[in-house]
Amino acid sequence: MRKHRFYSLLLAGILLTGGFNSLIADASAHTYVEQQTNAIKGTVTDEKGEPLIGVNVTVKNASIGGITDVNGTFSLNAPNGSTLVISYIGYITQEIIVKGTTPLKITLAEDSKTLDEVIVIGYGTSRKKDITGSVSSVKAEELNSVASSSVSQMLQGKVSGMNSIQSSAQPGAGMNINIRGAASPNGSNAPLYVIDGVPLQSNSTSDPGLQSGSYDLRTGVDRDPLNTINPNDIESVEVLKDASAAAIYGASAANGVILITTKSGKSGKVKVDYRSTFTTQLPKQYPEVMNAHDFREQTNLWTKEYYLYQNKMGVYGTNPIDFSKYTPIFADVDDYKADTDWMDEVMRNGYIIDQNVSVNGGTEKTRYFFSYNFYDNVGMLKNSDLARHNIRLNLDQVFSNRFKAGIKINYSNVKANSTSVGSAGNGDNMVLNALRFGPDIPVKDENGEYTSSHNKLINNPASFLDIQDKTITERIFIAPTFEIKLIDGLLLKGVGGYDNQSSTRDFYLPTTAKNTTVPEGMAQLGYNKVTNISAETFLNYEKIFKDIHRVSAVLGVGYYKTSGNGFRLTGRGFFTDAFGSNNVGIASVKDKEVIDSWRSERTKLSQFVRLNYSLMDKYIFTFTARRDGSSYFAENNKWGIFPSASLAWRINEEAFMKDKTPFSDLKLRVGYGTMGNENVIGTNAQSLYKSGYNYLFGNTMNTGLALTQIENPNLKWETNYTLNIGIDYGLLNQRISGSIEYFYRGVKDLLDFQTLPSSNPVGRVAANIGETKSQGFEFSLRSDNLTSEKFKWETTFNLSHFKTNWVKRNPEVALPEYIGEKDELDAIYGWKTNGIVTSASNKPNYMPDAVVGNVIYEDINDDKVLDSKDVVKLGNSTPRWMSGLGNTFSYKGFDLNIYFYSAFGYKKWRGQVPDAAIIGNNGTAAGNTYRTLMTDIYNSQTGTGWMPGIATNVYSNSNPSGQNDFFLMDGSYVKLKNITLGYTLPRSIFTSSRFIQGARFFVDAQNIATFTGYKGFDPELSTDNPYPQALSLSFGFNLNF
């Protein structure tokens, strides 16, 4: 930094003394000896008013010129009437005619606002107008990093055709992302991530997990592996969606490719940016529960209802109602010692502290970008939080006009505490238990020990707070690069990659928790490491011939290695909690002791090529191909080739379109190609032996191995073939722009299994069987609605529709008669319903044995019998339509951004429904505390309720699908994701400041509102009893130095 400052001051001194200018002027004086020259001075800034250092200012067609100094100023002598050319890397070149000596104020606009915008693609970049495939690009300024722990969360709704579903709202939660549909029923549908040119062959989290055994604690851990990347470091994200764009990544690209590019340093004076954000998180409404009085009152009511049902009294039979032998659970519903709100006991208001500082600058030869980020999210459920430290250094060095190199280094340390949410497991779930533990019971008894509920198997929700579950994840990412100019237009490039992610997990369930399943206490320790190593070298050629032929090509090879190793151990039976998990050796229950370790490794070799030809910037052809060989591939299919070809026609460049239509861009694209999904193979192509099969010889138990899988030497990857037809459009000089896409994606050679004869030691073998397809369309729009000097209004919108169907199924698997051969992959089947039986008058004649409170099932074929013939398709479980809508307004120093995203056209079961089977059953207190129990469950004593009552429905067992639509609802929603209001202080305030150069203050609100007809907790979250959603309110500021 000191060296850079010295060079900058030296350069400024030369410029201010006029030495450099006079040298140029003297050397060129003979050229303009007959012309009058003027001393021209000026200042060059960017669109934010920041001075640009090192801008080239030259006289057109003459050898007169200079560069701007540290303040962005320049001075030179130029003939009157001559043309100044102002050029700077990354900005649009300007030309200005010299008129007089008035100082010039020149503002350069970033080049990203033109059709010559450079888009990152596989193994290089391309002008936007030269792209023939389906590529979506999202720049850093379009991503809201406030209160976001990863780039995955920031992309939600931003890219057409990308489905991003959040399964949990816990700190650092992961996103389930698929591009253009989840078309692989048994394989991974996750896209390939490429970070700074390095493809991550494995992007899974390194969390070692917990062993369940006889104890199934649902910790709800769903960490996003991209949490280890500071969202503030992101420069751009490109999404390659079709084969013509993604096939160059071959066997890894079947589900699309997401290219993440981090920021690099820019030539110029040192810039320091500091951002500080504080966010408070308020839990959005969880299902309302009863207080102690209502709970005890409802317990008596429902045990009495069960008494009527079990004794066939009243509406449940022919016996007269007689409560003489009924004994209420609570003789006095007001005789309770506590009124505990268990959700309050386990919840709190959360907060996020996000501190980020970055430094970037450099010279024309050396550029650097450094950042440090501290992100601390204290979650809304107690014992849940995530703290991250992230350091990045990106360096670029030009050694000569033929050789340059760079390196990008990222280190992150993430510490996370987890708590219990999600599915119930063996009753071991904190959130679920908080919804069903008796509110008339205190947290602890008079001895200071955790209490038990009326149902002794339900663990005290507060006891989960004694559980320690800590995970520490470290990630080191290093990506060195080099570039050698061999001849004019031909470059040799190389990209290396080292990505090491390791996690340690420390879990301890103390005896003080009085856990009903593991009262003796349990400790688990785990470690897991995932390493990706890659090396790629490729030739990059680009040349223009005769001003109309533009040729570019890539030819390269790659080596990739992914390895993983880890261990877990479990100990049970601790006579003291004093050591926690730090002395597992004292565990006394030896038959429950588990020790496990593992190691995996795979390598891949690749060759790839891309050819691009453009004629007159109108007719464009692209061909790509990749050849992959993997150690995971089967013996007879060691190599796969994945080609693609695409064409584009820039119609607006035709003579019949120019200057005659409002179109500033109109391009038709057509592409077809294949890609592979190698992740489905795993170890399925190999013969495997597994431990754990112990044998007794004499009186000694010996550890044994058994054959658990046999090889299939012909097994291969799933192959995706896609057809993409797209139109890129621009109107009114790109004030309105966007694209329209139609795609057809087929997937063949699906991974499935063939049944083997019973004489084989293994009953099945992996095979390629079946085919699916996904098809749909996408629409995107960007509009500069108002562009006045003071007020600007910009709108972005995207809309997607697709569905995935079977084309061919496994012939060995017999389909039920109600499932169609080519139905959707996400189809939901079941019986249709029509309310509940409330009296003899509305009981259907085909359900003679139904009783009040039973669901009424519809007899679809009207044969008076409920069976498989009445099963129909009820809907689909994933959205058919997705959209995102953003509006950005700016007025003077104020800016306002409002962003919505939505999903439509799918069904979702309502969650958090009282379970009638355990409401006061067996003469015990209700195992549900939902307030809806008082109003919604049918009760014969009150004659109210619309949900099924307590009586068993004898017809339900005849339903072969096991599903019905009583609680199946439309899951469509529109979410107001965020509103951000900011104010940038006028630059005039900092004119005299040598320290602070700019400041912006902002407030941001996230998860503001959800507009939906869905009656469950949240239509987006896919987990039962999920981590509660938060209304996040952020306050922050940016300072520029």
pLDDT tens sequence across 508-529: 999 999 988 889 999 999 999 9
Taking only the tens place, the pLDDT of each residue in 248-269 is 999 888 899 999 999 999 888 8
How far, in Å, CA of 29 to CA of 77, rounded?
A: 10
Phi–psi pair at 694, nearest 5 degrees:
-90, 150
How far, in Å, CA of 453 to CA of 450, rounded?
A: 10
pLDDT value of position 164: 81
Taking only the tens place, the pLDDT of each residue in 454-499 is 888 888 999 999 999 999 999 999 999 999 999 999 999 999 999 9
Element at 320 (helix H, strand E)? none
> Which residues in 573-617 belong to E strands, given as ranges?
594-615
- Flag whether pLDDT at 606 surpasses 90: yes
Taking only the tens place, the pLDDT of each residue in 751-768 is 888 888 888 888 888 889
- CA torsion sign for 760, 761, 764, 766 is negative
Contact 311, 319 (CB under 8 A): yes
Residue 415 structure tokens:
């510490």
Choose among 624, 631, 714, 712: nearest CA to 675. 624
Position 742 confidence tier, pLDDT thresholds 50, 70, 90? very high
How far, in Å, CA of 797 to CA of 242, rounded?
A: 21
pLDDT value of position 66: 82
Residue 407 structure tokens:
């390196």
Taking only the tens place, the pLDDT of each residue in 812-821 is 889 999 999 9
Count Cα neighbours of 811 within 13 Å in the Cβ-side half-sphere.
0
Helices marked H in 112-173: 151-154
Choose among 455, 459, 516, 440: nearest CA to 926. 455
> What is each CA distance from 707 to 114, 704, 812, in whole angstroms?
62, 10, 24
Please give the share of the chain, as a percent, with pLDDT higher than 70.
93
Place of tokens 């109600």: 818
> What is each CA distance from 973 to 105, 148, 778, 908, 1011, in whole angstroms?
49, 21, 19, 11, 6
> What is each CA distance from 171 to 104, 245, 614, 1023, 1033, in whole angstroms?
51, 34, 48, 15, 15
In this prediction the pTM is 0.85
Residues 6+ away with beta carbon under 8 Å from 923: 303, 306, 307, 329
Taking only the tens place, the pLDDT of each residue in 780-799 is 999 999 888 789 999 999 99
pLDDT value of position 218: 60
Position 1024 confidence tier, pLDDT thresholds 50, 70, 90? low
How far, in Å, CA of 1041 to CA of 1037, rounded?
A: 13
- Flag whether pLDDT at 77 surpasses 90: no
Based on the number of CB atoms within 10 Å of its own CB, is 498 exposed (0-12), middle (13-18) or buried (19 or more)?
middle
Highest mean pLDDT among 171-185, 369-383, 421-435, 648-662: 369-383
Task: Count the neighbouring beta carbons within 10 Å of the beta carbon of residue 949.
Answer: 26
Angle at 36 between CA 33 and CA 37, to 5 degrees: 95
How far, in Å, CA of 60 to CA of 93, rounded?
A: 12
Highest mean pLDDT among 92-101, 203-212, 569-578, 992-1001: 569-578
Choose among 187, 159, 188, 163: nearest CA to 175. 163
CA 384 to chain centre: 20
Residues 6+ away with beta carbon under 8 Å from 1002: 146, 980, 981, 982, 983, 1034, 1035, 1036, 1037, 1038
pLDDT value of position 784: 92
- Asked which of 77-91, 601-615, 732-746, 794-808 is least confident by mean pLDDT, the reply is 77-91
- Flag whether pLDDT at 31 surpasses 60: no
Based on the number of CB atoms within 10 Å of its own CB, is 595 exposed (0-12), middle (13-18) or buried (19 or more)?
exposed
How far, in Å, CA of 608 to CA of 462, rounded?
A: 57
How far, in Å, CA of 351 to CA of 278, rounded?
A: 7
5 three-state secondary structure: helix
How far, in Å, CA of 307 to CA of 922, rounded?
A: 9
Helix axes 2-17, 19-27, angle to 10 degrees: 50
How far, in Å, CA of 912 to CA of 289, rounded?
A: 11
How much is the average pLDDT of 299-314? 91
Position 89 confidence tier, pLDDT thresholds 50, 70, 90? low
Using the 8-state DSSP alphabet, how is residue 443 labeled? S
Position 33 confidence tier, pLDDT thresholds 50, 70, 90? very low
How far, in Å, CA of 782 to CA of 735, rounded?
A: 8
Taking only the tens place, the pLDDT of each residue in 571-598 is 999 999 999 999 999 999 988 888 889 9
Averaged pLDDT of the chain: 87
Phi–psi pair at 709, nearest 5 degrees:
-155, 140
How much is the average pLDDT of 1030-1037? 92
Residue 441 structure tokens:
């019971």
Task: Count the neighbouring beta carbons within 10 Å of the beta carbon of residue 451.
Answer: 18
Give domain limits for the chain. 2-109, 192-281+347-681+716-831+877-908+973-1040
- Flag whether pLDDT at 425 surpasses 50: no
Residue 665 structure tokens:
């861009």
Question: What fold, for 192-281+347-681+716-831+877-908+973-1040?
Answer: Maltoporin; Chain A (2.40.170)
**Longest Cα–Cα distance in the chain:** 124
More confident residue, 477 or 63: 477
How far, in Å, CA of 32 to CA of 79, rounded?
A: 7
Using the 8-state DSSP alphabet, how is residue 190 labeled? P
- Asked which of 111-120, 283-292, 536-545, 1019-1028 is least confident by mean pLDDT, the reply is 111-120
- Flag whether pLDDT at 429 surpasses 90: no
Which homologous superfamily does the CATH classification assign to the domain defined by 2-109?
Carboxypeptidase-like, regulatory domain (2.60.40.1120)
